Chain A
Amino acid sequence: MNRPDAAEGGNRDRNAGMLRAQERREEWGLLSLAAPALLVIVLVILIPVGWLFYLSFIGGDGQFSLEHYRKMVEYKSYARTFATTFEVSILTTGICILLGYPLAYFLALLPPRWAGIFMLAVLLPFWTSLLVRTYAWLVLLQRKGMLNEFAIHIGLWDSPVKLVHNMTGTLIGMAHIMLPFLVLPLYSAMKKIDRDMMHAAANLGASPATAFRQVYLPLSLSGMVAGSLIVFILCLGFYVTPAVLGGGRVIMVSTQITAILENQFDWGAASALGVVLLVATLLVLYIAARFFKFDAALFGKG
């Protein structure tokens, strides 16, 4: 009576072993599929970033030195630039959420044909050059721009209001450019939400507001977090829009890096700024992830 069992056990072991081997083969196979992408990442991201990291510790005399980092502490402009960069990024992300969430919700509710048409309106700016869009805002918002002229003409205000060449103009332009990056992931997350869940919640006695808050909002959160992260990170490195619409008053880290490179050819100092921005960004993301518990979305943990 024992023998067949033992044979079966042996078979099971053998099967399990073969399954494991197959699994490993598959993993290696998948990895080899990803290899070109990994190689590209190593070549164009890891190596250059590592090189910049190394450069940031090399002083003017070619020796190891902390002078670039010391300078960042000595002159207040650096701290202010970082503060401005994060301020612009956080505010832009906030504005995008405020504008983008209702928009994505609206799109998700529409029948597919209409959603397609409205989605086109969201995507259309994507197909226009960033520079063109930014300058278009300049034309609209400047002192003798269309908006001021029109508002004065119909008597909304008497003298031109300062809408551009400052933080206001920068945020308007940035929010416009970043909005699709938030709406797209949010919309796709919302489309995946089963409408029956809302009906079920209503069946169980939830008011529409409660159902939205307790069912819809949490389910759409993953899309919102993904979208916000994309917007926030893109904002951190933004150059053109703050440079054009900020009128030299909104100085981002990217602006300062350019200034250092163009004026002083100092790759070390510029690299040090890049390194600090990278570290600060990772730190902020890590803290935010712990705080908002979106580790899963960010770091792929369960």
Chain B
Amino acid sequence: MKLHNEYSGGKLAHTIVGAAAAMLVSGVAHADPVTVVSWGGSYGEAQDKALFTDASKNSGIEIIRESGASMSKACLQVQSGAVTWDLVVTGSGGAASAAAEGCLEKIDYSVVDVSDFYPNLYTDYCVGADVFATVMAWNTEKYGEPGTEGAPSTWADFFDVEKFPGTRAYRANNVDGALEPALMADGVPPEQVYEVLSTREGKERAIAKIRELKPHIAVFWESGAMQAQLMKDAEVDMTTGWNGRFDNAKKDGAAVGYTFNQAMLDYDCFAMPKGAPNKDMAMKFLAEVSKPEYQANLPFHITYGPTNKKAYEVTTAPKELIEALPSHPNNVPLMLPINLDWYAEHRAEALELYMELLSE
């Protein structure tokens, strides 16, 4: 669901060397390294520290770690018959679309143990890596600290510019997580949101609600980095975005708060491009990183939650940190889980309608 565009020359060189190395050793059948592709920046670093390094050491599976994960690139590899990636990090929606395009390998659940996973955090084609929430965040100097009297708490508040006068930011050029808040603000109960959105009228109802707010939307954000920057610079008073980014912005001194209430529970996951060169080994590595003992370390490096329930039992992270994670059992019931079936079927049409609204 997230658009991470973080490339670096060093990583590219790494990629090329890695690919060349993979080609050189491909004649040897036994231990080809598994190519794991994630995003750059703090997200990839967190995964390296919490998951990849230790999992590789403990399982003895050698990995080549690359950056610049993108489902569109993975699909291009599949379609051109030159697959070099084994495991790719992706947003859940991206995985759903890629699976629908026939770009992904089915996950072998006899190898990957998901018995302790939250049921919505894995599909036939991808295994949840971490849980994040698309929340509404606001300038606490303007609207008060979360949970205090008079602070915003629902999407209706987000869309109410009379009760909460000020500017807003909303998602640009991507419909993921953009229509649900509008319907909730328009009075649709969270559990009916996707049902309503399954009709053209429902989508248009959501679009109409956003159209009402549009004069007050000062900026449309393109990335997580931009969400954080907008709040740090007080460029807008309220925005939608990913909870981890606002925690980071707050650490940097921004007056920003957010609520999990009515937020959209979503996850990043590992997917395997169809025809991955080291399918079997990669599946074993995926099984390893999905174990609770690795996921338990994730919160130390990024405020995204584990997808494996057991990780909460074995983690040594302090209580406040654990309770602040989107997948904490206290927070989950507040939120609307993203419905991937809806995205697989309706994403293209919803995006057209949303782009039409944005271009008005």
Contacts and interface: CB of A to CB of B under 8 A. Distances in A.
Interface of A: 71, 75-77, 80-81, 84, 142-145, 162, 165, 243, 247-249, 251, 255-256, 258-259, 261-267
B70 A84 contact: no
Classify the secondary structure of B's interface with A: mixed
B234 A77 contact: no
Interface in B92-113: 97-98, 101, 103
A263 B360 contact: no
B272 to A, nearest CB: 16
Contacts of B360: 80
16 contacts: A75-B352, A75-B353, A77-B359, A143-B167, A165-B235, A247-B220, A248-B172, A249-B220, A249-B358, A258-B173, A263-B97, A264-B347, A264-B351, A265-B76, A265-B101, A266-B348
Interface string B155-198: 00000000000010010111110000000000000000000000
Contact of B351 (A142, A162, A251, A259): A259
Nearest to A256: B355
Interface in B223-276: 233-235
Given A243-B222, A248-B220, A265-B101, A259 B235 contact: no
B356 interface: yes
A77 B351 CA distance: 11
Given A76-B359, A248-B173, A248-B221, A265 B72 contact: yes
A82 to B, nearest CB: 10
Nearest to B226: A244
A145 B229 CA distance: 13
B87 interface: no
B22 interface: no
B218 A247 contact: yes
Contact of A75 (B70, B98, B219, B355): B355
Contact of B359 (A84, A261, A262, A264): A84
Contacts of A263: 97, 174-176, 347, 351
A263 B358 CA distance: 16
A143 B233 contact: yes
B233 A142 contact: yes
A99 B131 CA distance: 51
Nearest to A270: B72
Nearest to A269: B348
Contacts of A255: 173
B358 A248 contact: yes
Interface of B: 3, 70-72, 75-76, 97-98, 101, 103, 167, 170, 172-176, 218-222, 233-235, 347-348, 351-353, 355-356, 358-360
A263 B71 CA distance: 9
A178 to B, nearest CB: 22
B234 to A, nearest CB: 5
Contacts of B220: 247-249
The interface centre, meaning the residue of A71, A255, A264 with most chain B CB atoms within 10 A of its CB, is: A264
Given A264-B97, A264-B348, A251 B173 contact: yes
A243 B98 CA distance: 25
Contact of A251 (B101, B170, B221, B359): B359
Contacts of A142: 233, 235
A127 B317 CA distance: 47
Given A143-B167, A247-B219, A263-B174, 12 more contacts: A76-B359, A143-B218, A144-B233, A144-B234, A165-B219, A248-B219, A249-B358, A251-B358, A259-B173, A263-B175, A263-B176, A265-B97
What 10 A-B pairs have minimum CB-CB distances, sorted nearest first?
A: A248-B220, A248-B172, A80-B359, A259-B173, A77-B356, A247-B219, A77-B359, A77-B355, A265-B75, A165-B219
B174 A262 contact: yes
Contacts of B174: 259, 262-263
- Between B3, B71, B167, B358, the greatest number of chain A beta carbons within 10 A of the residue's beta carbon is seen for B358
Nearest to B74: A265
Contacts of B175: 263
A248 B222 contact: yes
A77 B352 contact: yes
Contacts of B221: 248
A239 B355 CA distance: 17
A81 B359 contact: yes
A75 B352 CA distance: 7
Nearest to B349: A75
Name the residue among A143, A162, A261, A265 with the largest chain B CB count within 10 angstroms: A265
Contact of A265 (B98, B172, B351): B98
B358 A77 contact: yes
B267 to A, nearest CB: 18
Contacts of A84: 359
A267 B235 CA distance: 35
Contact of B352 (A71, A80, A143, A247): A71
B211 to A, nearest CB: 13
Contacts of A81: 359
A142 to B, nearest CB: 5
B126 to A, nearest CB: 15
A262 B352 contact: no
Contacts of B355: 75, 77, 251, 256, 259
Given A165-B218, A165-B219, A255-B173, A75 B71 contact: no
A145 B234 CA distance: 10
Contacts of B219: 165, 247-248
Contact of B3 (A76, A262, A267): A262
Given A75-B352, A84-B359, A262-B3, A162 B173 contact: no
